[in-house]
Structure 1
């Protein structure tokens, strides 16, 4: 993974976890010094994070870290699910072209190979996963051939964590993150199967559920914490 991509992942995580506090100004030079890199990858990362809705351009200089709420992220992902669900439904109704079939299947095979070879992801595996994940989603979106849908999705992508570009991977929770991405891969397989069999309703439902995979880790942790609390109460 390039140094620029590493910087982007690092800054994205710092914003999401609150290490970079919402509402605070962030500038190139102090950020570059903090991460021990040059200003160039910082400048590029800032622009990309602005597109993802994690930074807001300051009217003077630099950027402001966006204040992120759980509701904002959930709402954005639900809207993405509706839009991508419509794209999948449309493609299923009209049928896949041979080129689309080949593209989707190639993505599935490449990602499947990552999980066959590795039990956890490093930078290289994450970069390859990200690459083929983007192609998978873009193939379906292009297949829908709906300009209004594409523009609506582009607008929604400017909200925090709503874009397919905004991949998050917490190395401190490597095992659970690995399983989350594997689950997302299995969802891709199910979506492909629904598209191949022209099951429009199923394809739409699967894609809508798939949109929330980014917050699946938080859901699992919440369930486990609730279970732990319940068990503690029972023992008491």
Structure 2
């Protein structure tokens, strides 16, 4: 089943970036009504977003219904991203270790075609966020599912509850769409390279490329602000 952005996902992305960048300070209370007004939405998407961010460890409950920001440390984010890279790298190695079934090969190609269509026009619009979210998760989930390793899936589900430990943990800067286009199109090129390694049966290359893909926010210095992928 295709995963689409949940209600409030755009608010999740905005708040995630604000917390990770320090715009919302560690311990700062996040009130629903002022936040909704600030982001131009109703209270419900904010409430949904705060519940999601609580599961990611980026907000904590205060009192009966309130929330406060929990700014992650660099080491917390680094640890979560490193673990995801190891797990997804192992999944890619497993998938590449055997000739892919025609059905899987077609699924990979169809998935990458979504990315090609998204970036073909050479720029991003705000509406493209949902398309990238859907495409990105589809690619990562496809690799994990194809590995047929329930331990990897379980470990990733636990790691997803750490700050920026999930492939879905986007923190995009829509005030700088050209830079966001560069970051996300680079992620798509990573997907293509991983897929090429899998289809050619190069298990070592597939693993290393997937680990490098997960670590991209660490390698290019963007960890000093909000990780983008």
Q: TM-score range by the shorter chain?
A: 0.7 to 0.9
Q: Which residue matches 1:168? A: 171
Taking the TM superposition and a 5 Å limit, the aligned residue runs for 1:1-236 are 4-58=8-62, 60-117=64-121, 119-215=122-218, 218-219=221-222
Decide which moves more: 96-105 or 25-34: 25-34
Larger Rg: 1
Structure 1 residues 95 and 60 mapped into 2: Cα distance closer, same or farther (>3 Å)? farther
* RMSD between aligned residues: 2.4
Query: How far apart, in 2, do the equivalents of 1:131 and 1:190 lie?
Result: 19
| Gaps in structure 1 of 5+ consecutive residues | 223-236
- Preserved CA contact (<8 Å) 1:22 1:67: yes
- Preserved CA contact (<8 Å) 1:26 1:64: yes
Report which structure shows greater RCO (CA 8 Å, sep ≥6): 2
Query: How far apart, in 2, do the equivalents of 1:99 and 1:133 lie?
Result: 20
SS in 2 for 1:99: helix
Q: Normalized against structure 1, the TM-score is what?
A: 0.84
Structure 1 residues 14 and 102 mapped into 2: Cα distance closer, same or farther (>3 Å)? same
Query: How far apart, in 2, do the equivalents of 1:55 and 1:72 lie?
Result: 14
Question: Shift in Å at residue 48 of structure 1?
Answer: 1.5
Structure 1 residues 205 and 59 mapped into 2: Cα distance closer, same or farther (>3 Å)? farther
Query: How far apart, in 1, do the equivalents of 2:38 and 2:177 lie?
Result: 24
SS in 1 for 2:124: coil
Question: Shift in Å at residue 53 of structure 1?
Answer: 2.4
SS in 2 for 1:14: helix
Decide which moves more: 136-145 or 164-173: 164-173
SS in 1 for 2:215: helix
- Preserved CA contact (<8 Å) 1:191 1:203: yes
User: Hey, which of these two has a bigger chunk of helix by percent?
Assistant: 1
Structure 1 residues 59 and 80 mapped into 2: Cα distance closer, same or farther (>3 Å)? farther
